[in-house]
């Protein structure tokens, strides 16, 4: 009995001890839990966040590019990019074929890409797609597949503005054109934030903003969208008509240096860059150099006038229509123009006359005079890939270089440079740096006496009037000053080919010059016509006629305008119609619609 009582007492003691230990353990667990979760929770919060907290970028938009009137030329639109965590996705290999079908890619290709990056946590699957496309892919709920917001560049004007604007790459960074030149202004600065993701990688909470996103700055160009499209249309039509391989046109505001339009053909679609020919991406108006042909002759005449060796009425004997430079080389005109004034040299575009003027000029003087107009130097517009052209120093000249330079051979320039030169003639001899940014101003440089500049302008006006080589450049109601050029193309094997460059460079209106324009058409089909006055002058006329009206420039040739109005009134009365029907300047018959004679030619009698 006594033994049984002792056993019962020991059992109760054991139960009490066990209960006490369990109770103390429970209390310790509660205290510890309270300490971990409430009192000293910082360490464990950091550990938990290290496993679920992520720092992700905040995308930002690129600045918008607009034309001078605020019309959008380049805008960034929100898109989605689908990406994957290869480590997580490869844990569900059975879902990869389903994902491949959603992405519209071969399953084996996708599997190989994932396997090659199996140790990575990020892989783009499809970039810059529409939000709807991204939602359809994510709707499959495949582990390790996510999307993020990005921006894609869109160019509403397409091919017409491609060479000016350029394009961006997949990361929205400028690659060509003004997108590249002003990338530092247009590019925004991406921000970043910390978020908490759940086990499926979804963001469940935004924790902290590390750095806010800064959008890019907008850029307003000097380009006028309307004039740009007009120039693009007319150049395209003329290339189709003449079978030419390429062409360029540049329009500048004479007093400000603003580039109002710059087009090149062939062009490309900047919204689908990868689908075109990369050779079409370069802006020929600023990168490609050509021998300028007879567009150089007004500068030669200006040099002679500036030196004081001739006046506009000085008579030059051009007989018999050619002149020998030495025993091997001859400079020739298409016709024998007899005796002409200095103005006549421009009107008839005489190679012989230009060469005779150059012969009276000192080599160093002629070189420096030509150079101060910008030949041989980059225009300074800031456009990427700008070419300086070629203007050799006198120490490198041969015995015939100065003569050929006088009528546009032996040096080379870009269309933009030629537009600058003609703008300087129209701006009273002030050369101004071209600009593409509205509001940007450069100090002009006086390179020619204003009186001489005006005299050269009056001479060039005769080129577009009856008897000149570019009557097809005439614009109803406006006096036009200009110069044609029809230059043979140099062959890579040496010498000149029977292929041509057709030029027209002009200024309008003469009385109060506003615009200079250069049209270069490369390699027109000789059987369809290749002279500058026939091929390039009509493009100038049609574009400038529209630009003058768009920019509300008043006519400076009222007499011709009134005569045309009177003639239209009389014609309508004969037809029994009410009111005059004014002729369209772009379609009006011109005084001399026949093909002008070819006036530019390199030296004959041997290779230069």
Give 55-220's CATH code, choosing from 3.20.20.70, 3.90.1310.10, 2.40.160.20, 3.40.50.10110. Answer: 3.90.1310.10
Give phi and psi for 351, each to the nearest 5: -65, -40
Please tell me the predicted confidence (pLDDT) of residue 258: 97
Which helix H or strand E contains 517, and what residues bound it? Answer: strand 515-522
**SS3 at position 155:** coil
pLDDT per position as a tens digit, 173-226: 999 999 999 999 999 787 665 655 555 455 545 555 667 768 889 999 999 999
Please tell me the predicted confidence (pLDDT) of residue 203: 54
Contact criterion met (CB below 8 Å) for 487 and 501: yes
**Cis link prior to 578 (omega < 30° from 0)?**
no
* Residue 591: DSSP 8-state: S
Q: Tokens 């009177």 — which residue?
A: 566
Q: In Å, how far from its chain's centre is CA 438?
A: 15
β-pairing, 65-66 with 219-220? parallel
Of the candidates 518, 61, 93, 39, the one whose C-alpha atom is nearest the C-alpha of residue 296 is 518
Chunked into runs of 10 residues, the chain (608 residues) has average pLDDT values of 59 75 76 67 55 62 94 91 85 86 88 85 84 88 84 92 93 92 88 57 55 84 97 97 96 97 96 83 95 96 97 95 86 93 96 96 97 96 94 94 94 97 98 96 95 97 94 95 92 79 96 97 94 96 96 89 77 64 41 39 47
Q: What span, in angstroms and rounded, lies between the C-alpha atoms of 141 and 94?
A: 13
Which residues pair with residue 174 across a beta bridge? Answer: 168
Q: In Å, how far from its chain's centre is CA 408?
A: 27
Please tell me the predicted confidence (pLDDT) of residue 505: 98
In the chain, CATH 3.90.1310.10 sits at 55-220
Q: State the CATH architecture for 225-271+281-574.
A: 3-Layer(aba) Sandwich (3.40)
In the chain, CATH 3.40.710.10 sits at 225-271+281-574
**SS3 at position 278:** helix
* Residue 35: DSSP 8-state: I
Please tell me the predicted confidence (pLDDT) of residue 594: 34
Rg (CA), the chain: 37
Please tell me the predicted confidence (pLDDT) of residue 276: 73
Q: What span, in angstroms and rounded, lies between the C-alpha atoms of 464 and 591?
A: 10
Other CB atoms within 10 A of residue 156 CB:
13
Q: Which residues of 547-573 are buried (b: 16+ CB within 10 A; e: fewer)?
A: bbeeeebebbbeebbeebbeeeeeeee
Please tell me the predicted confidence (pLDDT) of residue 58: 66
Which residues are catalytically annotated? 294
The pTM (predicted TM-score) of the whole model is: 0.81
Please tell me the predicted confidence (pLDDT) of residue 51: 47
Please tell me the predicted confidence (pLDDT) of residue 273: 82
Q: What span, in angstroms and rounded, lies between the C-alpha atoms of 469 and 319?
A: 20
- Taking CA atoms, 170 is separated from 81, 123, 139, 163, in Å, by 11, 15, 25, 19
Residues 6+ apart with CB under 8 A from 553: 478, 509, 514
């Amino acid at each position: 009995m006594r033994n049984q009582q002792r056993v019962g007492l020991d059992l109760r003691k054991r139960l009490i001890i066990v209960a006490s230990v369990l109770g103390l353990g429970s209390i310790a667990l509660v205290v510890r839990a309270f300490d971990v979760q409430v009192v000293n929770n910082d360490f464990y919060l950091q550990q938990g966040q290290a496993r679920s907290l992520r720092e992700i970028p905040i995308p930002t938009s690129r600045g918008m590019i607009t034309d001078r009137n605020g019309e959008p030329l380049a805008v960034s639109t929100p898109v989605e990019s689908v990406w994957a965590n290869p480590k997580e996705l490869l844990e569900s290999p059975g879902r990869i074929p389903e994902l491949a079908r959603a992405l519209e890619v071969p399953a084996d290709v996708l599997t190989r890409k994932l396997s090659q990056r199996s140790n990575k946590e990020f892989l783009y699957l499809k970039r810059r797609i529409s939000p709807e496309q991204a939602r359809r892919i994510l709707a499959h709920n495949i582990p390790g597949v996510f999307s993020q917001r990005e921006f894609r560049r869109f160019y509403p004007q397409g091919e017409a503005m491609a060479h000016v604007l350029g394009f961006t790459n997949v990361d929205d960074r400028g690659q060509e054109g003004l997108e590249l030149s002003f990338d530092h202004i247009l590019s925004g600065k991406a921000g970043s934030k910390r978020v908490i993701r759940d086990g499926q990688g979804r963001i469940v909470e935004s924790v902290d903003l590390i750095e806010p996103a800064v959008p890019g700055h907008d850029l307003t160009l000097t380009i006028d969208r309307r004039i740009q499209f007009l120039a693009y249309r007319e150049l395209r039509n003329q290339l189709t008509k003449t079978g030419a391989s390429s062409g360029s046109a540049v329009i500048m505001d004479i007093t400000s240096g603003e580039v109002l339009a710059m087009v090149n053909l062939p062009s490309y679609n900047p919204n689908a860059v990868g689908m075109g020919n990369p050779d079409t991406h370069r802006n020929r108006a600023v990168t490609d150099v050509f021998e300028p042909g007879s567009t150089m002759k007004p500068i030669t005449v200006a040099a002679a006038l500036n030196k004081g060796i001739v006046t506009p009425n000085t008579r030059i004997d051009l007989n018999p229509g050619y002149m020998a430079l030495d025993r091997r080389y001859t400079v020739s005109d298409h016709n024998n123009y007899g005796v002409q004034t200095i103005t006549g040299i421009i009107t008839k575009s005489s190679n012989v006359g230009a060469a005779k003027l150059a012969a009276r000029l000192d080599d160093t003087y002629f070189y420096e005079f030509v150079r101060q107009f910008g030949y041989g130097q980059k225009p300074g517009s800031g456009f990427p890939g700008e070419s300086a052209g070629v203007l050799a120093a006198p120490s490198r000249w041969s015995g015939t270089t100065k003569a050929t330079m006088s009528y546009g051979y032996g040096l080379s320039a870009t269309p933009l440079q030629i537009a600058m030169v003609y703008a300087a003639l129209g701006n009273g001899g002030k050369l101004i740096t071209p600009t593409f940014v509205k509001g940007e101003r450069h100090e002009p440089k006086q390179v020619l006496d204003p009186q001489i500049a005006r005299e050269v302008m009056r001479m060039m006006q005769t080129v577009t009037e009856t008897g000149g080589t570019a009557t097809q450049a005439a614009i109803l109601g406006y006096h036009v000053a200009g110069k044609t050029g029809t230059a043979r193309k140099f062959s890579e094997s040496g010498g000149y080919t029977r292929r041509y460059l057709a030029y027209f460079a002009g200024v309008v209106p003469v009385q109060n010059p506003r615009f200079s324009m250069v049209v270069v058409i490369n390699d027109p089909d000789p059987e369809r016509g290749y002279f500058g006055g026939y091929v390039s002058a009509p493009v100038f006329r049609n574009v400038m006629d529209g630009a003058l009206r768009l920019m509300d420039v008043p006519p400076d040739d009222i007499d011709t305008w009134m005569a045309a109005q009177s003639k239209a009134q009389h014609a309508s009365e004969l037809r029994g119609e009410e009111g005059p029907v004014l002729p369209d300047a772009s379609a009006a018959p011109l005084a001399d619609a026949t093909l002008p004679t070819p006036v530019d030619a390199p030296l004959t009698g041997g290779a230069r």
